Amino acid sequence: MNAEHMAKLFKILGDDKRLRILLCIGKNRCSVSEIIGNTSFSQTLVSFHLRILREACILKAERQGAFIYYQLVDAELLDLVSKFNEFVSKMPLEIREEEYSCPCPPTGNNILTGRYGKFSNLVLKK
Amino acid sequence: MNAEHMAKLFKILGDDKRLRILLCIGKNRCSVSEIIGNTSFSQTLVSFHLRILREACILKAERQGAFIYYQLVDAELLDLVSKFNEFVSKMPLEIREEEYSCPCPPTGNNILTGRYGKFSNLVLKK
DNA sequence: TATTTATATAAATATATACTCATATTATAA
DNA sequence: TTATAATATGAGTATATATTTATATAAATA
């Protein structure tokens, strides 16, 4: 596996607004106006993120009159994202919270003391 | 789909060094020393990233004597990452390059002029 | 052809993230 | 018990990324 290449893709997906733009487009073909309307992000912000997605070859653009339509280069990406969504929804809550911090170590304990992990109730193994 | 939650996970995976640490651990159980040895990252850097992965509930830690062993909380993540790897390896080269910039628009042209996209050879559609 | 609509872009700013440095903790060995 | 090995952590710094601001381009319309 190539960590560098993957990290680039993950980094691009690792922004909630960019993801919302991607999910908004889905497997369809959307004009920038539609995206702005659906997300309520500013025009410049949408264009900024669309450029990033386009330059990463995740989206392709096509002008039609005054409008520019965007769609996925490879729609399989959506299926992968969907699988990640299932995975995330099964994860411990912490990563889904504002200040996610899995209690590993949990409050009052320390990783160095041997007891941590919300679900494992680990104890020091000698 | 929850863009915010997914973005958090993608963001954590969107760092090549963190990914290399994850791939190094794989479905095994690795001491920090092993990770340092395999990656040749500094001890502090490895600990820094391990903390991030641990606090996101991606990794769990277990002390055994002086050593602390790390392993995936849910090994299915590796399968997902592997699928992403396949996807990335099929992508146009640009995202895999140092300065990835899909020629959309390509050099000399402009997205506004209607011709861009390495593989689509798009022309203006009226 | 002047104006408006749709969109892009460069540059400035704000914010978040990665990395390093110095130091602390725990366990083990001498 | 002291020293050493394994690891963690807080804080500072460097770097990258997101967002906004101001402006530009292209097409459509008046």
Q: Is the ipTM of this complex over 0.90?
A: no
Burial of A113 (0-12, 13-18, 19+ CB in 10 A): exposed
Cβ atoms of B104 and A61 within 8 Å: the answer is yes
Report the nearest residue to nucleotide D25, CA vs C1': B112
Pairing of β A67-72 and β A59-64: antiparallel
Q: Rounded to 5 degrees, what angle do the CA atoms A61, A64, A70 make?
A: 25
CA dihedral A33, A39, A41, A42 (to 10 degrees): 10
* Residues in B touching A118 (Cβ below 8 Å): 57
Phi/psi region, residue A65 (left: phi>0; alpha: psi -120 to 50; beta: rest), is: left
Q: Looking at chain A from residue 84 to 123, which residues have their Cβ under 8 Å from any Cβ of chain B?
A: 84-85, 87-92, 94-96, 100-102, 104, 111-112, 114, 116-118, 120, 122
Q: What is the pLDDT of residues A65-123, one digit of tens each?
A: 999 999 999 999 999 999 999 999 998 765 555 444 455 543 333 443 333 332 222 22
Measure, in angstroms, how far nucleotide C14 C1' is from residue A73 CA. Answer: 32
B2 in reach of chain A (CB within 8 A): yes
Interface-testing mutation among B5, B49, B110, with chain A (most A C-beta atoms within 10 A):
B5
Q: What is the pLDDT of residues A14-67, one digit of tens each?
A: 999 999 999 999 999 999 999 999 999 999 999 999 999 999 999 999 999 999
DSSP A17-86: HHHHHHHHHTTS-EEHHHHHHHH---HHHHHHHHHHHHHTTSEEEEEETTEEEEEESSTHHHHHHHHHHH
| Residue whose C-alpha is closest to residue B70's, from B38, B25, B24, B18 | B25
- Domains, in order of start, for chain A: 3-72 (1.10.10.10), 93-126 (no CATH)
Q: Confidence band (pLDDT; 50, 70, 90) for B23? A: very high
Give B-chain residues touching A7 at CB under 8 angstroms: 13-16, 18-19
B78: tokens are 């590796």
Q: In the structure encoding, which two tokens stand for residue B44, read together?
A: 């502090």
